[in-house]
Amino acid sequence: MGEHLKKMKNIGYKDKYDPTKIKPYGDTINDGKIQVSFTLPMQNTPKATIAAKQLVLKMGLREPNIVLQKSLESEFTFFVVYGHLIHNVDITKIREEDSQLFKAMSMDEINEFISQNFNRKIVVVGATTGTDSHTMGIDAIMSMKGFHGHHGLERYEMLEAHNLGSQVLNEDFVRKSIDLKADVLLVSQTVTQKRIHVQNLTNLVELLEAEGIRDKVILICGGARITKELAKELGYDAGFGQNTVAEDVATFFIKEIRNRQKK
C-alpha cells in the first residue's frame, strides 16, 4: 500500500466520502480521476485529437487530458486519456447477496460431495467450439495438470471428464455429449471479433434445444470476456470469466445437479 493511502487510512478517510455517491479515487477521495484507452479508425491528425476528446466527454469525463496519442499503422490512432468521471454509484443500494464472493470447495470436498449425493461419477464434456483454436482456457479447467496449482477436472476421482479440444463444431459437440450421456457441458470461447462468440454460443443452445436435451444438462460457458450476465442472457446456466479454476466450475455444477434432483 502506498504512503498516501496509509496516511488516508490513519486520518479516517471513510468519513470523507458519501457512500451514496462513490467515484474512482485518484489524488483525493471522490475526485473521479480515471484513465481510458482506445483506438480510433482515423489517421493520427489534429482531427483525431478533437474526435478523441469529444468521445471521452460523451463518456462522462471532464477536463480530458490526452497523455498518449500514437499511430497504429496508417489509418488507426491509439489514445490514452485521463479525466474526471462525473458519474457515481450508490453502494448503499447494492444488495448483500450480490456482493458475496463465491466460495468454492476443494477437490477432495467435491469428490466427497459426489460420493455422498450421487450413485455414480458425473460426466463432464468440454471443448472450445466453433472456429476458435485456443485451448488454454478449456485445458486450464479440464486437463490433468490444471492451472496455477489447481488440478483440472480430469484429476477428480468422481468425475468422468472428456476434453474434446479446440475447433469442435457445435453439431459434433452435441453428438458426442449425447453419446457420452453428459451431465455437464463446458464451452470455452476466446475469439471475440465481431462478437462471433455470441453467435456460436447461441447456436449451441439452439442445437441442444432441437435435440431436446437442453434442460437435461448443466450448460456452462467460459472465457476472458464471458460474464455471468451474458451467459444467462444467452441461455446458459452459468458463465465464468478470468481467474476461474476447476474448483469454481465443479462446485457450481455439482450443487446445481443436486438442486435439480431435489425439485
Per-residue pLDDT of the chain (263 residues; tens, 9 = 90+): 455 555 545 444 555 678 888 999 888 888 899 999 999 999 999 999 999 999 999 999 999 999 999 999 889 999 999 999 999 999 888 775 554 456 899 999 999 999 999 989 999 999 999 887 788 889 999 998 877 789 999 999 999 999 999 999 999 999 999 999 999 999 998 866 667 888 999 999 999 999 999 999 999 999 888 888 999 999 999 999 888 999 999 999 999 999 998 87
Would you say the C-alpha torsion 49, 53, 59, 63 has a positive or negative sign?
positive
Residues with a known catalytic role: 145
The structure's pTM equals 0.69
What local confidence, expressed as pLDDT, does residue 191 receive? 64
Q: What number of residues does the chain have?
A: 263
The CA–CA distances, whole Å, from 175 to 25, 178, 187, 245 equal 51, 5, 14, 27
C-alpha pair distances (Å), 148 with each of 12, 128, 156, 158, 228: 38, 20, 16, 22, 23
With left for phi above 0 and alpha for psi between -120 and 50, is residue 146 left, alpha or beta?
A: left
Question: What pLDDT does 100 receive?
Answer: 47
| Distance of alpha carbon 108 from the chain centroid | 26
> What are the backbone angles phi and psi of residue 241, rounded to the nearest 5°?
-105, -145
Q: What is the DSSP letter of 225?
A: T
What is the DSSP pairing of strand 76-85 with strand 159-163?
unpaired
Ramachandran category for residue 100: left, alpha or beta (phi over 0 → left; psi -120 to 50 → alpha) = beta
Distance set, CA 93 to CA 13, 21, 29, 97 (Å):
21, 11, 20, 12
Instruction: Tell me 147's DSSP state.
Output: B
Going by C-alpha positions, the residue among 107, 109, 82, 102 that lies closest to residue 27 is 82
The per-residue pLDDT for 146 is 79
Residue 238 has a pLDDT of: 94
In order of their start, the domains of the chain are 13-91 (3.30.30.60), 102-262 (3.40.50.280)
